[in-house]
Amino acid sequence: LVSRDFHPASTQVRVGPVIIGDGQPPVMMAGPCSIESEAQMLASARIVRDAGATILRGGAFKPRTGPHSFQGLGVEGLKLLRQAGDAVGLPVVTEVMRIGQLEDVCRYADLLQIGARNMQNFDLLKEVGRLRVPVLLKRGMSATIEEFLAAAEYIVAEGNDQLILCERGIRTFETATRNTLDLSVVPLVRQLSHLPIIVDPSHATGRRPLVPVMAQAALVCGAHGLMVEVHHDPAHALCDGAQSLDGPQFARLMGQLAQLTAFL
């Protein structure tokens, strides 16, 4: 069902007023890794809106590697995300980690994110497939393209074709970057599937200085958009500060991307 052989026309996904897919300008989803407080969320939301992002991100349920790291604010965080999105007029995306969180996440979010660690949580995939809410599916860190598309198939097979794929880097022998950004997946998925695909250069590199250049590279490769972590004060971020852009850096990136897309 996700294959272009079966469905030749490209699928467009609608998130609030934003349309993602072929023939649309690249979407920019941006915001902090984690929702930390009302003030932090609002400051980050203003930064990304003022620079031209059209979807606000923020994690309330965080899949942290260790149990002693900040786990997110949960439902309280969802409310702060919604409040910040409404304050700046942007739809919001946030991660759902398990079926039990779906009701709360659907109440507050416009786009449901399935994180890399849950790409093969088949029960969760089936459940979001039964909803009529757009979904962002991130590639598992060790998933092949075939496995990535098979995971997408679970969602579409239940009737939900409002699905965006996201390349966020894969695990390789290289440790200098957090993950290895597999940009070849972008043209390949565009060829194999009718679903839109975006790139997350923040989790892919783990390093702030690499984010802008890889963001540009992703658009050159044909990505339908980007997801970028932005924090008003990255040095004090509770999660992923090292890969987060601050306000001026994000505004500069948006300027560079505007110049680039004029050529594409």
Binding interface with Mn ion (CB under 5 A): 33, 240
Residue 138's binding partner among ligand PEP, Mn ion, none (Cβ under 5 to 8 angstroms by kind) is ligand PEP
* Minimum CB distance to ligand PEP, residue 169 (Å): 8
Nearer of residues 217 and 260 to ligand PEP, judged by Cβ: 217
Quote the tokens at residue 126: 């089936």
**x/- track of binding to ligand PEP for residues 160-179 (CB under 6 A):** --------x-----------
In whole angstroms, give the CA distance from residue 117 to residue 130.
21
In whole angstroms, give the CA distance from residue 178 to residue 91.
29
Q: Using alpha carbons only, what angle is made at residue 116 by residues 113 and 119, rounded to the nearest 5 degrees?
A: 80
**x/- track of binding to ligand PEP for residues 5-44 (CB under 6 A):** ----------------------------x-----------
Q: How many residues bind ligand PEP (CB under 6 A)?
A: 11
* Minimum CB distance to ligand PEP, residue 5 (Å): 28
* Minimum CB distance to ligand PEP, residue 83 (Å): 19
Nearer of residues 34 and 193 to Mn ion, judged by Cβ: 34
Three-state SS at 167: strand
Contact 61, 37 (CB under 8 A): no
Residue 231 binding ligand PEP, by CB under 6 A: no
Residue 224 binding ligand PEP, by CB under 6 A: no
Which residues have C-beta within 8 Å of that of residue 107, sequence separation ≥ 6? Answer: 78
Residue 223 binding ligand PEP, by CB under 6 A: no
- Among the candidate windows 2-10, 45-53, 114-122, 214-222, which touches ligand PEP by CB under 6 A? 114-122
Residue 138 binding ligand PEP, by CB under 6 A: yes
Burial class (CB in 10 A: 0-12, 13-18, 19+), 205: buried
- Provide the strand spans (E) within the chain: 13-15, 18-20, 27-31, 55-57, 92-95, 111-114, 135-138, 163-167, 197-199, 225-229
Q: Measured at CB, which residue is nearest to ligand PEP?
A: 115
Q: Which residues, 83 to 102, sit near ligand PEP by CB under 6 A?
A: 95
DSSP string, 75-103: HHHHHHHHHHHHHHT--EEEE--SGGGHH
Give the interface with ligand PEP as residue ranges (CB under 6 A).
33, 59, 63, 95, 115-117, 138, 168, 200, 203
